[in-house]
Amino acid sequence: MRRRRVTYRPSKAQGAFGMVWGGVFILIGLFVVIPTFGPFGILWTLAAVAITAMNGYQAFGKTYKGPEITIEEDSAQMPDGHPSSPAPETHDHIPSTALDAKQRLEQLESLKQAGLITDGEYREKREEILKHL
Q: Is the pLDDT of residue 98 over 50?
A: no
How far is residue 88 from each of residues 2, 60, 84, 85, 91, measured CA to CA in Å? 20, 45, 11, 9, 10
State the pLDDT at residue 5: 67
CB 60 within 8 A of CB 66: no
Asked whether 112 and 122 are in contact (CB, 8 A), the reply is: yes
CA atoms within 13 A on the CB side of 102: 0
Burial of 39 (0-12, 13-18, 19+ CB in 10 A): exposed
Global pTM reads 0.45
Residue 56, phi then psi, degrees to nearest 5: -65, -45
Non-local (6+) Cβ contacts of 107 within 8 A are 94, 96, 98
The model's pLDDT over 52-83, given as tens digits with 9 standing for 90+, comes to: 999 888 878 877 766 666 666 655 555 555 55
| Residue 7 near residue 70 (C-beta atoms within 8 A) | no
